[in-house]
Chain A
Amino acid sequence: MRQQLLALHHISKTFVDGGEKRTILDDVCLEVHEGELIAIVGPSGSGKSTLLNITGIMLEPEQGQVFLNGKNMTEKKKKEWTKIRKNEIGFIFQHHQLLPYLTAEDQLSVFGKRAKKSAIDMEQMMEDLGIAGCKKRYPAQLSGGERQRVAIARAFVNDPSIILADEPTASLDETRGRQVVEMIREQIKKHKKAGIIVTHDKRVLDLVDRIYYLENGVCKEQA
């Protein structure tokens, strides 16, 4: 049995909007195992980003629990959130969000844990991602696809349990977008992480293992 790295148990979240209570997430359950890449799709306003923020330990659910690597994160204090994100979660953003003043190599080292060397061989990963030659270059000197690939490497630098990708193909054309998702998939398999892609890009859905549909706060797995 493959290890379960992420589990959401009955997550609910409501917002008060103009005096009206709106349910964003309604009893959402999902789980991701190691080496598995899932996609969460849904129309805008369906609660995708709220779900992502809760999974990314940046927002507190009203009800339900988030289990990361078997540990209940909902019990942790807010003060520890940053540390949890650093150790357990790798983020890939919609726009690469690299710091403009750092070379590709520094992008990784700045966010890497200071004390111990990453368990993942970053040299090899940059090789795998085809950006080994870009180490000394700044984001402005990289192509859109290369930037997103550096961002992928950055997500893995602290050897996290899960990889969260927020619309990773949004700023790329079809070929490059597909390439990026393929790379995320490869690395997740290789390093036995749990991967979640939030996307509305239907063209890459054949690359994921399972698909969850989110609509009006209700999450259903596609059969």
Chain B
Amino acid sequence: MKLAWKELKYFKKKYFFIELMIVLLVFMVLFLSGLANGLGRAVSAGIEDMDATHFLMSDSSENLIPVSRLETGIYEQLKEQTTSRVAPLDIQRMYLCTEKGGNKLDVAYFAIEKGSFLEPDTYEGTSLEDATVEHGIILDDSFAAEGIAVGDTVYDSTTEMEFTVVGFTKDRMYGHVGAAYLTTESYTDLRTSMDSNYKQTYQAFAIQGEDVAGIDLPGTMVVDKKTVIENIPGYKAEQVTINMIVWVLVVISAAIIGVFYYIISLQKERQFGVMRALGMETREIALSVCSQVAMVACIGAAIANLLTFGMAAMLPEAMPFYLKGSSVALVTVVFIIVSLLSSLLSLQRVAKVDPIIAMGGVE
């Protein structure tokens, strides 16, 4: 340990560059992992941040809420079958404009019951329940970046129905589109103005709690939140792709440390020979090499973590970047473990060192 640290300290320049490489690699990995989570959140946050655990939807919906259709009567039946709180939910992709015939903004309407547990927290303005206007709407903060403010009027682009912005909520997205929360009544009005034959239905019911075993309604199924999220179009494909890149990079950067150390060990073979001749056990030398790899990996990972969190604080709002403590920790720990594993390559050299090489010859 002491030996390993003293060597790092003495050869500052040499190890500084190795450390720099490692910091950059880990930083890149963490950054990508932040992007992966960010993109994932851009697809799923609307569902993920809901205070619900399960969803009831029609059994032909393929776990997709917007495809599901449930008769209104089911609401009462459902309430009888579970002690958990339930709330109706409709999700509809449409367009909003800030003025009639103006630019269309993608939006995902979340139609919810006033005052239900699906109401998002607002960081500005009021909740739908407390709103005094007729058609209130709570928007995701991505709309604030478009210059919309509380009290503004926005229009549904198809029906030109007017909504008054009553509040803003943070990070509520669905399928890369900002969410907009409106009441089921407003939503029914909206649908009716598109199609006068529209008969009110619900797409799904959010269930808050674990009492779902007793729910048995014909033509319906209970799906947990995780499954709902994974089935949002594009979510799985994106996550699998980016996560694969992240893990391949973790392994590659750790392997780079391994190769570095292999070369360094080759260069130090004579030193190892001297140590062996002077009575140092292979075990001690191996421990020293391993502890050095651990130090370099840990210091590098720590600096990269600082850099990543520092940078995350400075990124613009629109960037889909989201650092999740658990995934950052996982990436960091796996990186350190794989680095140590890759140093086994060097240990195999150390084990083979013959003290005789210390004798004779000039270096």
CA distance A83 to B282 in the complex (A): 11
Is the C-beta of A138 less than 8 angstroms from some C-beta in chain B? Answer: yes
Q: Which of the 9-residue segments A25-33, A62-70, A92-100, A119-127 touches chain B? A: A92-100
Bound-complex Cα distance A93 to B356 (A): 11
B355 touching A58 by the CB < 8 A rule?
A: yes
State whether B279 touches A110 (Cβ < 8 A).
no
Task: Kindly state the separation between the CA atoms of A87 and B280 in the bound complex, as whole angstroms.
Answer: 11
- Are A102's CB and B6's CB within 8 A? yes
Q: Which stretch (B28-36, B40-48, B85-93, B269-277) binds chain A?
A: B269-277
- In the complex where A101-B10, A106-B6, A110-B3 touch, is A95 in contact with B359 (Cβ < 8 A)? no
A45 to chain B, nearest CB (A): 12
- Measured CB to CB, the nearest residue on chain A to B360 is A49
B279 A94 Cβ-Cβ under 8 A: no
B317 CB within 8 Å of chain A = no
* A183 in the interface (beta carbon within 8 A): no
Q: Which residues of chain B have C-beta atoms less than 8 A from A52's C-beta? A: 359
B17 is an interface residue with CB less than 8 A from chain A: no
Contact of B7 among A53, A93, A101, A167 (CB under 8 A): A101
Chain B nearest Cβ from A189, distance in angstroms: 23
Are the CB atoms of A101 and B362 closer together than 8 Å?
no
**Inter-chain contact A138/B10, CB cutoff 8 Å:** yes
Q: Is the CB of A49 within 8 A of B281?
A: no
Interface residues of A in 16-39 (CB under 8 A from B): none
Residue of A nearest to B5 (CB): A101
Q: Provide the bound-state CA to CA distance between A159 and B27, in Å.
A: 50
**A-B contacts, 20 listed (Cβ < 8 Å):** A56-B277, A58-B354, A82-B276, A82-B355, A85-B278, A86-B278, A86-B279, A87-B279, A91-B278, A93-B274, A93-B358, A97-B274, A99-B275, A101-B7, A101-B10, A102-B3, A110-B3, A111-B275, A167-B360, A171-B362
List of 10 A-B pairs having minimum Cβ-Cβ separation, nearest first: A86-B279, A101-B10, A101-B7, A85-B279, A97-B274, A111-B278, A58-B355, A49-B360, A58-B356, A166-B359
